[in-house]
Amino acid sequence: MHNYHIMDLKKSQIWALSEGEDFREFLENIIRCPDAACRVFNNISELIAMDEPDEGLILAINSFGAFSNYLPVIKRVKKKFISYDIVVFGEDKTGEERRSDYYHGVDLYISPDHDREETASSVNRLIRLRTLKSHFDIIGRSEKMNIILDKTIQVAPTEVSVLLEGESGTGKEIIARTIHRLSRRKDKPFEEVNCGAFAEGVLESELFGHEKGAFTGAVGRRRGLFERADQGSIFLDEVGEMPLGMQVKLLRVLETGNFLRVGGIERIHSNVRIIAATNRNLNSEVEKGSFRRDLYYRLKVVQIAIPALRERNEDIPLLVNAFVRKASTKHGKKIRGIEKEGLNKLVQYPWPGNVRELMNVIDNLVVMSRSSFITGGEIEERLYEESRENLSPDLPVHVQRSREDMERELIVNSLLSIHNDIKEIMRMLKEQKEGSSLNLNRFVEVREDDGGRGKDIDSIEKEAIIQALNMNHGNRRKAAEQLGISVRTLYRRLNKYNIS
């Protein structure tokens, strides 16, 4: 097999914005790729008029001359291109100034006091990562994402098993496919299965195949994933959902390479590389006895933890831009962008469903938008709906509130619900009071046991109503909707607590 590697891919193009040609020679001496070539532009208009290269773009800006004010340049680049990184060469800056530059789109800042070897290493890493992102449609500029891709590049050419860990929707499948496509097995099959989507018997057939008549409905022989993926890779998604009995069979195949089809007697050999993924903490599952320790060690030769989107929110504007363009093309809409206020709301939102949820929200916004720009109001309305779906249909939320605040309000609403249930039970008991020796005085007001400092349910209810009204600027219909009660009930509560 040929030893494939990231450097076998066509390199991202390197464009330079500089007054003179000397900068080209400087760059080409830094870049260690033998086929690297740099194109110099003397003005931004000429550069912006170019089509974006399919293999991605590295833009190097020489800020020592005419382009000392480079932030407006970067702003124009952002509007035109998607798959790019920006390197600025300029005077030394403070850490705060560099952080500000990064916020505005500078991926790497090089000052004269940089060691030449360190500069070469940093620039070549940026080229390597941009090449990978552009070829495999990976979007992100955060250091957390770049570290994941560094590990991907390092582990891909080897034969070790890889365990990808991360929440649902973080892009584990994309990393799995990237590992395969950079490996020595890239020209062989890549098969995948969601281990949580099948019952144990069905999963065994999916993995190992079955013979005709092996079970009811087995009308013919069927090859399983291990047979079809011979010499290639298998992606076991949600491997933590695999039943214990199936784990034993999988471990045996990983140790020997041999298996039997369901209902078969012929031993079959398969040479596959395993890439597994889970949204569970498998180490904890091992301690609880729901996942085999020996299989866990077999799968996690190399572990790669994929960060949640909320942990790399500097990637959100890039993802939003790409998703808006994709959805606009898909749905025949002409959406030019998103208002800054709306983009800020998207960045602040916690995204429990991660990149998958963001993509679905943008798809919805593009379809439902009534103008060429998606407004902050449209985004706030959509995120409010998303929050209610993610947390609770009865939870009053605000898109800029912390998850801790949201959870606290969920508890309040639960207490309100309990309070209403207790009142209803007491009403029913009172109706049946005649002829009963039941002493209703033993039903007391529910309080938190915190040394007398807790609030009774009426106080909590009143506080929740005031908070809901404030969050909705006095709109009683919306406040009632957030509280999960009717407008009529809300008016009764307002009168009860003398809330104006």
pLDDT tens digits, one per residue of 219-262: 889 999 999 999 999 999 999 999 999 999 999 999 999 999 99
| DSSP result, 173-204 | HHHHHHHHHTSTTTTS-EEEEETTSS-HHHHH
pLDDT tens digits, one per residue of 92-102: 999 999 999 99
Instruction: Find tokens 């790019």 and name the residue.
Output: 84
Higher pLDDT, 477 or 112: 112
pLDDT of 451 over the 70 cut = no
Phi/psi at 250 (5° precision): -65, -45
pLDDT tens digits, one per residue of 147-171: 999 999 999 999 999 999 999 999 9
Instruction: Find tokens 């022989």 and name the residue.
Output: 221
Distance in angstroms (rounded) separating the CA atoms of residues 472 and 98: 39
pLDDT of 388 over the 90 cut = no
Mean pLDDT of 446-464: 58
pLDDT of 492 over the 90 cut = no
Mean pLDDT of 16-20: 88
- The one-letter amino acid at 287: E
Residue 450: which pLDDT band, with cuts at 50, 70 and 90? Answer: very low
Please give the structure tokens belonging to residue 281: 């903490």
Average pLDDT, the chain: 85
pLDDT tens digits, one per residue of 392-426: 444 344 444 454 555 455 555 555 555 555 555 55
End-to-end CA distance of the chain: 78
Max intra-chain CA distance, the chain: 103
3-state SS assignment for residue 87: strand
Please give the structure tokens belonging to residue 122: 């940093």
Q: Is 68 exposed, middle or buried (0-12, 13-18, 19+ CB in 10 A)?
A: exposed
3-state SS assignment for residue 324: helix
**pLDDT value of residue 416:** 56
Which domains are present in the chain?
6-136 (3.40.50.2300), 149-305 (3.40.50.300), 315-391 (1.10.8.60), 415-431+453-500 (1.10.10.60)
Distance in angstroms (rounded) separating the CA atoms of residues 296 and 283: 8
Neighbours of 389 (CB within 10 A): 12
**pLDDT value of residue 318:** 94
**pLDDT value of residue 21:** 77
| Contact (Cβ atoms closer than 8 angstroms) between residue 479 and residue 468 | yes
* Angle, CA of 74, 76 and 82, to the nearest 5°: 80
What separation in angstroms does the CA of 431 have from each of 422, 435, 436?
A: 14, 11, 10
**pLDDT value of residue 479:** 81
* pTM assigned to the model: 0.75
Higher pLDDT, 195 or 461: 195
- Enumerate residues 6+ apart whose C-beta is below 8 A from 127: 11, 12, 14, 31, 33, 36, 58
pLDDT of 72 over the 70 cut = yes
Distance in angstroms (rounded) separating the CA atoms of residues 50 and 47: 6
Phi/psi at 273 (5° precision): -100, 135
pLDDT tens digits, one per residue of 295-348: 999 999 999 999 999 999 999 999 999 999 999 999 999 998 899 999 999 999
* Angle, CA of 139, 144 and 145, to the nearest 5°: 25
Distance in angstroms (rounded) separating the CA atoms of residues 490 and 500: 12
**pLDDT value of residue 489:** 76
